[in-house]
Amino acid sequence: MIRGRGGLTDAELLAILIGSGNSEDSALNLAKKILKGADDSLTQLGRMSVSKLMKYRGIGEAKAVTIAAAMEISRRRREEATNDLSHISGSADAFAVLEPVLSELQHEEFWILYLNNANRVIHKSQLSKGGITGTLVDVRLVLREALELGAVAIILAHNHPSGALKPSEADKAITRKLKVAAEVLDIKVLDHLIVTDKTFFSFADQHLI
């Protein structure tokens, strides 16, 4: 029986992208090896660089680029789907918007969601990009953009490439700093999310904001 694309395993889909294997492995076996190297996670596969993929025998530059491009298309599709999310009613909604942007990064980035008085996302932007240990946050830039957009509330977010969900003291400090500064301008800081490749931590859910 011919199965539709929804009936194919991750390895079978990856094998289609690879097309052919090597003298020792079929395309399917090679796909299974690559997925095993990514901990059987498509998210981890999306983090693999072209050079890392090329370390697998039978994966040349063209095949590695094809895999990387497919992962990027998948990420953009998820991000595009969240553009239809008009209303943020809780942390899970905010995570749905931010997950395609932050979950697969190998470095740390800080993002802001700007909301109107109906809790609709009117803009999202990257505030800063840093190394794996941290990133810089300019409070003035956050509030200036909020005023320019006419936003009445913001949601802070950054990722932890390490996968750790526990907020650091620096995370708590910048949250307090932004909240105090925003209140002067009657702008609410609704939440601060820490995003990993699988889940998130919400300051609001944990009553830390």
How far, in Å, CA of 192 to CA of 153, rounded? Answer: 12
Kindly report, residue by residue over 70-91, the tens digit of the pLDDT: 888 877 776 665 555 567 999 9
**Which pLDDT does position 1 carry in this prediction?**
39
**Which pLDDT does position 201 carry in this prediction?**
96
Say which residue, 22 or 154, is predicted with more confidence.
Answer: 154
How many residues are present in the chain? Answer: 209
**Which pLDDT does position 28 carry in this prediction?**
93
For the chain, helix, strand, coil in percent to 5 are 45, 15, 40
What value does the mean pLDDT take over residues 99-125? 90
Q: Is the pLDDT of residue 5 over 70?
A: no
5-79: CATH topology: DNA polymerase; domain 1 (1.10.150)
What value does the mean pLDDT take over residues 4-24? 86
Relative to beta strand 153-159, strand 109-115 is antiparallel
Q: To which H or E segment does residue 191 belong?
A: strand 188-195
User: What are the angstrom distances between the C-alpha of 59 and each of 10, 24, 41, 43?
Assistant: 17, 13, 19, 19
What CA dihedral angle connects 120, 126, 127 and 130, to 10 degrees?
Answer: 150
In the predicted model, what is the mean pLDDT of the chain?
A: 87
Say which residue, 197 or 188, is predicted with more confidence.
Answer: 188
How far, in Å, CA of 42 to CA of 64, rounded? Answer: 15
Contact 39, 32 (CB under 8 A): no
Tell me the H-state helices in the chain: 10-18, 27-37, 42-47, 50-53, 61-82, 91-102, 139-149, 169-184
Kindly report, residue by residue over 33-63, the tens digit of the pLDDT: 999 998 888 888 888 889 999 999 999 999 9
**Which pLDDT does position 101 carry in this prediction?**
86
How far, in Å, CA of 102 to CA of 124, rounded? Answer: 12
Q: What percentage of residues in the chain have a pLDDT greater than 90?
A: 53
How far, in Å, CA of 100 to CA of 27, rounded? Answer: 28
Q: Cβ contacts of residue 87 below 8 Å, gap of 6+? A: 93, 118, 119, 120
Q: What is the residue extent of each domain of the chain? A: 5-79, 87-202
| pLDDT band, very low/low/confident/very high, at 145 (cuts 50, 70, 90) | very high
How far, in Å, CA of 113 to CA of 98, rounded? Answer: 9
Least confident of 45-54, 123-132, 158-167: 123-132
CA triplet 118, 78, 148: central angle to 5 degrees? 40
Query: Which CATH superfamily is 87-202 part of?
Result: Cytidine Deaminase, domain 2 (3.40.140.10)
